[in-house]
A and B are shown apart, each in its own frame.
Chain A
Amino acid sequence: GENVEQHPSTLSVQEGDSAVIKCTYSDSASNYFPWYKQELGKRPQLIIDIRSNVGEKKDQRIAVTLNKTAKHFSLHITETQPEDSAVYFCAAGAGGTSYGKLTFGQGTILTVHP
């Protein structure tokens, strides 16, 4: 089955700095790579996703890049703000016989210091 590794497990930055979280996956059939943000005590919520036919996607201060050859993808957050502090999860999924199941990484605790 799919295996997703996420690094780092914790990340501490100063407000205004950039943050980068990296994930690798093992199954070449995976074609969908979402990122979820989970605030303390809350549910995970999708912040951005990318499909395998696209190399990069941006949404305001967040961007995701995908390298299918190397089987890795990354989340980039620019101009970080204290409200960006949360746990971030990457995931990988495939349709077809995988029925859209997602395999999640272990999570990154991001702390943005004012």
Chain B
Amino acid sequence: NAGVTQTPKFQVLKTGQSMTLQCAQDMNHNSMYWYRQDPGMGLRLIYYSASEGTTDKGEVPNGYNVSRLNKREFSLRLESAAPSQTSVYFCASSERAGHTDTQYFGPGTRLTVL
């Protein structure tokens, strides 16, 4: 099992460009999450999907959109990138919807917006 995978690993964008971060899990998990990690601020939840077909905002959703494409895949889109979105982005998944199960993280995407 690959667990949680993310693409790309690194990306450099110019202000105003758009891009989609991809995430997939092969553990048959129901819930998936997108976090951003900035120095000194821990991991902050951007969006989550409690189960296939549902998505909801987390703590810092502004400037982002998500799509739960199917049970395996959960993508994060930046429509018009800003320097404030320079960060490391982690996708995570957990087994049961609505329960506090262990979250398994992907390897991360390091995004720089110039």
A104 to B33, CA, bound (A): 13
Residues of A close to B79: CB separation below 8 A:
none
Interface residues of B, dominant DSSP: loop
Residues of A close to B42: CB separation below 8 A:
4, 6, 89, 104-107
Interface string of B23-57 (1 = CB under 8 A from A): 00000000101000000111111001010000010
Interface residue ranges, B against A (CB under 8 Å): 31, 33, 40-45, 48, 50, 56, 58-59, 90, 94, 96-108
Contact between chains at A44 and B100 (CB < 8 Å): no
Contact between chains at A99 and B56 (CB < 8 Å): yes
9 cross-chain pairs, A with B, having the tightest CB-CB distances, nearest first: A32-B100, A104-B42, A99-B50, A43-B105, A104-B43, A93-B100, A106-B42, A95-B99, A100-B100
Interface residue ranges, A against B (CB under 8 Å): 1, 4, 6, 9, 31-32, 34, 42-46, 49, 51, 89, 91, 93-96, 99-107
A108 to B104, CA, bound (A): 20
With A99-B48, A100-B50, A106-B40 as known contacts, state yes or no: A49 contacts B31, CB within 8 Å. Answer: no
Residues of A close to B97: CB separation below 8 A:
99-100
Residues of A close to B104: CB separation below 8 A:
46
A49 to B99, CA, bound (A): 14
Which residue of chain A has the shortest Cβ distance to B110 in the bound complex?
A41
